[in-house]
Amino acid sequence: MPQAPAKPLPPVPPAEFRETDIATMSAPALLAIVKDAAAPEFKKAKACVRLGELGAKEAIPVLATLLANDHLNVYARSGLEPMAGPEADDALRAAMPKLKGNPLIGVINSLGKRRDPKAIPALAKLLSGLDQETARAAAAALGSIGGPQAQKDLQSALPKTSGLVKLAVADAILICAERYLADGKRAEALALFASMSAAEIPKPMRLAAMNAIIREETSPTRPR
């Protein structure tokens, strides 16, 4: 009986596209790759991410220099986002005035993920900017950060915006309300949901606010 042909071996990627060594490197070795102008972008990208996994705070200034790089911005942010402490927040905020387009939107997203309250003033200014994608990203970040100041800035911007930006701002206000619930501030959440039930609120968000009120008031775990 003839033997079945052997299965072909999987292709072996070129050396510059292998990340096996990256996973075992120390922070100084990874930093050397990121700083090396001749290093392949693939290795730089993987080194950025790995530095974040290691929590290597000494890498923050180097990662910050890559935030303006269209190709490496996302990997630099992946390195900064998991870093403990305020230094990564400081680096992200400092980069905002120097960026535009997708790199700026990426940094805004990272500040939202890290819930950096010091970013609120800069994000609030972007709500009235000319670039709608940036304004929508700023609204989402403010919603993620949450709290009274983010809520105030979003509510102030809501009547001044239109179209997709208005929808993003309204959605961010609802997220602020959900943040209040998560923090045990039920009264604040319900008051905010009630304000978002007004006739002038975009219909999808108005209905979502009404549903949230019904959900909370009929929940068996609600305070009695």
DSSP string computed for 162-182: -HHHHHHHHHHHHHHHHHHHH
Instruction: Write out the two tokens for 78.
Output: 């992946």
Judge whether residue 224 has pLDDT over 80.
no
Residue 23's pLDDT band (cuts 50, 70, 90): confident
Record the pTM.
Answer: 0.88
Nearest to residue 150, comparing CAs of 184, 197, 115?
Answer: 115
207: Cα within 13 Å, side-chain hemisphere: 3
Q: CA geometry: angle at 57 spanning 51 and 62, to 5°?
A: 70
Residues 6+ apart with CB under 8 A from 48: 34, 63, 66, 72, 75, 76, 78, 79
User: Whole-angstrom Cα distance, residue 74 to residue 102?
Assistant: 10
Judge whether residue 17 has pLDDT over 70.
no
**Residue range 76-97, pLDDT digits in tens:** 999 999 999 999 999 999 999 9
Domains annotated on the chain, with CATH = 18-114 (1.25.10.10), 118-224 (1.25.10)
Question: Given this model, what pLDDT does residue 16 score?
Answer: 58
DSSP per position, 24-42? G--HHHHHHHHH-TTS-HH
